[in-house]
């Protein structure tokens, strides 16, 4: 009888602890621009569910990434370390060491049940998770394959955003309720090729989107921008990106070829008339470029609609299962994205649209609803923040910092500058670069493909059109920024950048 009593008390104690520690849900999208979220800017579309997280918690107006590209961003989030420390610098040459420490391993080792579902994009099998079911590589929008924990691969019928949420809810239904949980939901949307759910096709067809004022940027005095290969005019592919295939009966592109008969019929019914209309117009030059932009935006935003809808499903699940009050929910993209600014799509550059990421968080009872944060925060800060919330010591090698004090402490001071380093030297021809952003200025050092410095006064030139580096009168601020940059490079122990500065 005594043994049973002790066992019962232990179970009650574990259950009580699980109720006291916050559950954690981290939702990571892919290439979702803050410009396309109505909590940031309502001109393009409405995103009521992402907005709900912001309204019930905090919107970060100055959240940034350390390296604006998919895999390296996820590695930074998971490890709390910059790319040169976690080893995953780019998607082309890097291999992620899943054996290294992560916030998930720390939570798992301190009683949390952990799971990662959906897009992972780090190549190796996840570690630190009690359960995972992930998309191979980039994954597919329709009838996606999933890698299973037993080593098998399973194809699931449907649309990827819906399926990812279905799997997440199934895991929540079957989790060990005696433990607090940490669930990472990785959405494929809104990654290229921006293929909407059939239910959302055409939802923006009546909208004509205004061109960014620098849509026809000539990249004067910006050599790295001159050599990039990510423009809507020249790089966006009529078939692969815009679904304007020459023969809809014989499409070999796997994004379409994997569709079932019903999905393909709806795809044809939507895109074939657009193709016929385009051919009838016989557009060229700027008229064709602007057509491509409008079609890109319609597909992109329609794809974002399913993302927001499924985030709403996550929030509804928490409500329906009485989990809302004790669950942190954080939503972010793996980086920002260009929606025609500078004439571009994609990301990579340290310019604002790419470097800055959307991020909102709800933490009932801790973060006041309607909070607006203008402090600098980074994606490497997420792990340390979740660990602090869970009462777990932050490992010393994590380079991020918890941002909870910025949201709860009246006297907390945030960063006065951010450090960034992009490495990939291939796709889209974006030259590797590193740099510093302060509240007013940005200094960037390009190397390898392009050997050049750039300096921007963000107060006078928020769209980064006028490179001031080397201009008379800016010598003092340049020297100050270089000194600050050198200190950050030393602080984060980026030896590659340090050598480049030393060799000048």
pLDDT greater than 80 at residue 15: no
Q: Which long-range contacts (CB under 8 A, 24 or more apart) does 461-468 make?
A: 462/352, 463/213, 463/214, 463/341, 463/352, 464/351, 464/352, 465/214, 465/217, 466/221, 467/221, 467/222
Q: Are residues 323 and 341 in the same domain?
A: yes
Same domain for 207 and 167, yes or no, is no
**Last residue within a domain, chosen from 277, 295, 313:** 295
Domain that holds residue 314: 22-195+303-410
What pLDDT does 384 receive?
98
pLDDT for the residue numbered 504: 76
**3-state per-residue secondary structure call for 23-79:** EEEEEEECCCCHHHCCCCCCCCCCCHHHHHHHHCCEEECCEECCCCCHHHHHHHHHH
Of the candidates 420, 376, 383, which has an alpha carbon nearest to the alpha carbon of residue 400? 383
Residue 4 lies in a domain: no
Q: Could you tell me the pLDDT band of residue 209, with boundaries at 50, 70 and 90?
A: very high
Phi, psi at 193, each rounded to 5°: -110, 25
Are 239 and 364 in a shared domain?
A: no
Q: Are residues 282 and 425 in the same domain?
A: no
405 and 441 in one domain? no
Final residue in a domain of this structure, among 236, 268, 295: 295
Domain-located, residue 8: no
Q: Is 52 part of any domain?
A: yes
Is the same domain home to 399 and 288?
no
User: 111 and 36 in one domain?
Assistant: yes
191 and 308 share one domain: yes
Q: Domain check: are 271 and 394 in the same one?
A: no
> Tell me, what's the pLDDT at 18?
52
d(Cα 387, Cα 367) in Å, to the nearest integer? 16
Q: H or E segment at 388?
A: helix 382-389
State pLDDT tens for residues 240-266. Answer: 999 999 999 999 999 999 999 999 999
Residue 355 sits in a domain whose CATH number is 3.40.720.10
Tell me the C-alpha distance between 201 and 292, whole Å. Answer: 16
User: Is 164 found in the same domain as 57?
Assistant: yes
32 within domain boundaries? yes
Q: ω before 190 within 30° of 0 (cis)?
A: yes
Tell me: pLDDT of 11 over 50: no
Query: What's residue 112's pLDDT?
Result: 98
User: pLDDT, tens digit, for every residue of 426-436?
Assistant: 889 999 999 99
Are 104 and 129 in contact by the 8 Å Cβ rule? The answer is yes
Domain assignment of residue 3, yes or no: no
The answer to whether residue 77 is domain-embedded is yes
Say whether pLDDT at 10 is over 70: no
Say which CATH number the domain at 443 has: 3.30.1120.10
* Domain count across the chain: 3
pLDDT exceeds 60 at position 3: no
Do 254 and 399 have their domain in common? no
Mean pLDDT of the region 76-96:
95
**9 assigned to some structural domain:** no
Q: What is the pLDDT of residues 121-173, one digit of tens each?
A: 998 999 999 999 999 999 999 999 999 999 999 999 999 999 999 999 999 99
pLDDT of residue 426: 87
Tokens of 296: 């890109």
What is the reported pLDDT for 149? 97
What is the predicted pLDDT for the residue at 222? 98
- Asked if pLDDT for residue 270 goes beyond 80, the answer is yes
Residue 415 maps to a domain: no
306 Ramachandran zone, left/alpha/beta (phi>0; psi -120 to 50) = alpha
> Is 70 exceeded by the pLDDT of residue 7?
no
Let me know: does 449 contact 429? Beta carbons within 8 Å: yes
Helices (H), 429-491: 475-491
* 13, pLDDT greater than 80: no
168 and 59 within one domain: yes
Q: Is 6 a residue whose pLDDT tops 50?
A: no
Query: Among residues 295, 326, 343, which one ends one of the domains?
Result: 295
With cut-offs at 50, 70 and 90, classify the pLDDT of residue 19. Answer: low
């Amino acid at each position: 009888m005594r043994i049973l009593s002790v066992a019962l008390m232990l179970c009650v104690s574990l259950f009580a602890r699980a109720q006291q520690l916050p559950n954690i849900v981290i939702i990571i999208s892919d290439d979702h621009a803050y410009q396309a979220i109505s909590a940031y800017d309502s001109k393009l579309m409405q995103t009521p569910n992402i907005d709900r997280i912001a309204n019930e918690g905090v919107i970060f107006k100055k959240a940034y990434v350390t390296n604006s590209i998919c895999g390296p961003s996820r590695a930074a989030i998971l490890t709390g370390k910059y790319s040169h420390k976690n080893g995953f610098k780019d998607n082309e040459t890097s291999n992620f060491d899943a054996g290294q420490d992560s916030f998930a391993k720390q939570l798992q080792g301190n009683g949390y049940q952990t799971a990662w579902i959906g897009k992972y994009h780090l190549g190796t099998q996840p570690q630190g998770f009690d359960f995972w079911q992930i998309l191979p590589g980039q994954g597919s929008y329709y009838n996606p394959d999933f890698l299973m924990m037993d080593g098998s691969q399973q194809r699931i019928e449907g649309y990827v955003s819906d399926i990812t949420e279905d799997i997440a809810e199934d895991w929540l239904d079957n989790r060990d309720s005696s433990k607090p949980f940490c669930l990472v939901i990785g959405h494929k949307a809104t990654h290229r090729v921006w293929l909407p759910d059939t239910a959302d096709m055409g939802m923006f067809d009546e909208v004509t989107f205004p061109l960014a004022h620098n849509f026809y940027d000539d990249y004067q005095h910006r050599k790295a921008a001159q050599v990039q290969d990510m423009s809507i005019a020249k790089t966006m592919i009529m078939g692969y990106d815009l679904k304007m295939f020459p023969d809809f009966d014989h499409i070999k592109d796997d994004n379409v070829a994997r569709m079932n008969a019903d999905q393909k019929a709806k795809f044809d019914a939507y895109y074939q008339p657009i193709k016929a209309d385009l051919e009838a117009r016989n557009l060229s030059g700027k008229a064709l470029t602007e057509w491509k932009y409008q079609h890109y935006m319609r597909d992109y935003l329609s794809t974002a609609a399913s993302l927001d809808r499924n985030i709403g499903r996550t929030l509804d699940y928490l409500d329906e299962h009485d989990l809302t009050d004790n669950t942190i929910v954080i939503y972010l993209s793996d980086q920002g994205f260009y929606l025609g600014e500078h004439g571009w799509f994609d990301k990579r550059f340290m310019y604002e649209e790419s470097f800055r990421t959307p991020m909102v968080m709800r933490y009932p009872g801790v973060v006041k609803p309607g909070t607006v944060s203008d402090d600098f925060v980074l994606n490497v800060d997420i792990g340390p923040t979740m660990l602090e919330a869970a009462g777990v010591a932050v490992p010393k090698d994590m380079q991020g910092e918890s941002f909870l004090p910025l949201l709860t402490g009246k006297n907390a001071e945030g960063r006065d500058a951010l450090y960034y380093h992009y490495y990939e030297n291939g796709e889209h021809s974006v030259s590797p670069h590193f740099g510093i952003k302060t509240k007013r200025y940005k200094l960037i050092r390009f190397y390898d493909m392009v050997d050049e410095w750039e300096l921007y006064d963000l107060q006078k030139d928020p769209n980064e059109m006028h490179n001031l580096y080397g201009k008379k009168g800016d010598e003092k601020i340049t020297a100050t920024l270089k000194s600050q940059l050198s200190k950050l490079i030393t602080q984060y122990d980026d030896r590659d950048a340090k050598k480049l500065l030393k060799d000048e």
